[in-house]
Amino acid sequence: MNTRILNQVNRSTPFAGQSEAIAMISSRGLSKTFKTRTSEVHAVRDVNFDVHKGEIVGFLGPNGAGKSVTMKMLSTLLEVSKGAASVVEFDLLSQQNEIRSRIGVVSQRGSTSDTAKAGDEIVWHAQLYGISPKEARRRGKELFKALDLEPQWEQKCESLSGGQRRRIDIAMGLIHRPQLVFMDEPTTGLDPQSRANLWDHIRKLRDKFGTTIFLTTHYMDEADALCDRILIIDKGSVVATGTPKQLKSQISADTIRLTVRTNEDAAKTGHVVDSLGWGKPEINGNLVRFQVDNGAKALPGLMKSLGEKEIDAIGVEVSSPTLDDVFLSLTGRTLRD
Amino acid sequence: MKYMRDTLVIFRRSMTLSIQNPIWIVISLIQPILYLVLFGPILLSIAQTPGFPPGDAWQVFVPGLLVQLGVFGAFFVGFGIIAEWRAGVVERMLVAPIHRTALLSGLVIRDIIIVIVQGLVMIGLSYLFGLRISLGTIVLSLLIIAFLAATFSYLSYAVALATKSEDALAPIINSLALPILLLSGILLPMSLAPRWLQIISDFNPVKHIVVALRASFRGEMFGFDIMLGLIIVMIIALMAAFVGNLAIKSLAR
Ligand SMILES: Nc1ncnc2c1ncn2[C@@H]1O[C@H](COP(=O)(O)OP(=O)(O)OP(=O)(O)O)[C@@H](O)[C@H]1O
Ligand SMILES: [Mg+2]
């Protein structure tokens, strides 16, 4: 129970106070090289990062970046080629069984047999963790309920919809109440409502039980809404890390779009913007577009200056950078590539 | 202790999934019946040939079929594990704190039990055809068949996990099974073969198992043939288990 208290301390300040926080994952120089007959694939190169107790950390990167391979190494499924790591405070290279009993994994590949009934799979899986069938059934039903799967208990997995089957995978990964959960694209194939429901569930896990969550996703909105912190990986190396906010502010500025009444007004507005030190804006008819570091801060001064010149702004739009922009500027590609 | 528990959980899961498939049950029970009914009569008529080993035709014939059951009943189990691997089932089991070797031993126990049940059906049916053997013979024969089934199911899983492809598994299994079958005297006793073929077949462990089983069916309990067969089948089962678990280990490479 004291883990819960510890977790709450960390949770309220997910990024600050890192030095006292307990590292649930601490990766040092982790690398993976696959040797095929003809070549070597450097899937993961010298990856360093920490994930602290009670954090929800997102692992972002394009296809083939090395997300799944990193997760498989950290969850004891793949041998490490080089480097070291500790997971749930045990050494990855020498204490794999201690790690296994404390982590949960939702793999990208799935976890259930076509011909098995969903409820059976979860009870069998729980027994591999030493949970009695009776307790497993109780916990399984509870999880199914939380994940909107109640009617699916007796259903064969092959007859489930893609999203239902994905949610069973998630239930499988959580049945033994792990301290740390690895989720490899948990929401792929889920409809918006199920996604939102799963986000809630993940947050609840963290808030109620102090569970630490390390997940990969291709959805920027998901990373933004759910994660305390984000790691961006490209071609096997971590290229950026920070809170969604930090990453966004680090990369590009806010964009302000002004609509004025006439083209002359637009030209005049251009001079105003220039005189305020934001450079010459892009003018398109009666539209003026430019970038500032902080849109919310810049707006009052801008409106005042425009008022003095008797320019009427009939439309104002401030847009902050998205993680998509961050990703683009870091890797030169969008996540959707 | 933990190894036993893990093995038992995996066994129960795979057994339940097998039993839940009715078509599969029917096929595996019909198989031994077909062998006896469609092939037995041919063998009966050649049992009169000179060079045919001692004992009545059923005593020669049924041991061969039992061995064939042990080899072929188990050799194709790898297809199942490829499907499960593809569905992520193997990985999610290995991510649990189970004994690494429990995964295959749970599956292999299921495979053994299925082969034993098929063997019992076959022996029961042969009784109707006139085969008379003692309870001791039945127990000893099924013990040997159990080890044999373990051998080939471990090997099948090993090849399956190493290739992860049905398209690769099928030809490999077939090209292994054919010489094993031809050089074992399963269907026709090797004593009918020319000398050079007999010498080659001496290197086929399965041949010695067939010989042992026939001796057991003649009631020569604990003679040299039976002891040799028993030792050989135990050794190859151990080796196959080692190879199978090596394949599990190399999944992490
Ligand atoms: N067993 C393997 N043998 C050889 N190469 C591999 C193996 N597993 C992965 N790779 C390679 O390692 C690289 C990283 O793969 P990984 O699965 O980690 O990508 P990912 O970031 O999870 O991508 P995605 O978003 O598509 O899931 C890829 O180039 C992949 O081809
Ligand atoms: Mg992946």
H and E: helices and strands count for chain A: 12, 14
Per the CB < 8 A criterion, the answer to whether A170 and A202 are in contact is no
Higher per-residue confidence, B41 vs A222: A222
Question: Residue A130 corresponds to which tokens in the numbers above?
Answer: 């030493």
A contacts of B16 (beta carbons < 8 Å):
120
Question: Residue A118 corresponds to which tokens in the numbers above?
Answer: 């969903």
> Is 90 exceeded by the pLDDT of residue A9?
no
> Is 70 exceeded by the pLDDT of residue B31?
yes
- Give the predicted TM-score (pTM) of the model: 0.84
Residue type, A274: D
Question: What are the tens digits of pLDDT across the range B6-19?
Answer: 999 999 999 999 99
pLDDT confidence of residue B50: 66
Task: Transcribe A121-163 into DSSP letters.
Answer: HHHHHHHTTT--HHHHHHHHHHHHHHTT-GGGTTSBGGGS-HH
pLDDT confidence of residue A11: 39
Q: How confident is the model at residue A12 (pLDDT cuts 50, 70, 90)?
A: very low
Over range A79-87, report the average pLDDT.
95
B contacts of A74 (beta carbons < 8 Å):
none
Phi and psi at residue B230, to the nearest 5°: -65, -45
**Beta-bridge mates of residue A241:** A231
| A101, A111, A116 member nearest B97 (Cβ) | A101
Integer Cα distance of B243 and B159 in angstroms: 9
Integer Cα distance of A275 and B39 in angstroms: 100
Q: Which of A42, A26, A38, A32 is nearest to A235 (CA)?
A: A42
The closest residue, in CA terms, to atom 11 on ligand 1 is A43
Question: What are the tens digits of pLDDT across the range A23-69?
Answer: 999 999 999 999 888 899 999 999 999 999 999 999 998 888 999 99
Q: How confident is the model at residue A333 (pLDDT cuts 50, 70, 90)?
A: low
Is the CB of A34 inside a 6 Å radius of any atom of ligand 1? yes
Question: What are the tens digits of pLDDT across the range B214-227?
Answer: 999 988 887 899 99
Integer Cα distance of B87 and A168 in angstroms: 13
Burial B194-207 (b: 16+ CB within 10 A, else e): eeeeeeebeebbbb
Higher per-residue confidence, A189 vs B117: B117
**Chain pair A-B, CB pairs under 8 angstroms:** 74
| B9, B21, B92 member nearest A127 (Cβ) | B9
Q: Is the ipTM of this complex over 0.95?
A: no
Residue found under tokens 């031994």: B32
> Alpha carbon A131 to chain centroid distance?
30
Question: What are the tens digits of pLDDT across the range A224-263?
Answer: 889 999 999 999 999 888 888 888 777 657 778 889 999 9
Integer Cα distance of B69 and B86 in angstroms: 28
Q: How confident is the model at residue A2 (pLDDT cuts 50, 70, 90)?
A: very low
Integer Cα distance of B122 and B113 in angstroms: 14
The full set of domain ranges for chain B reads: 2-251
In chain B, pLDDT over 70 holds for what percent of residues? 96
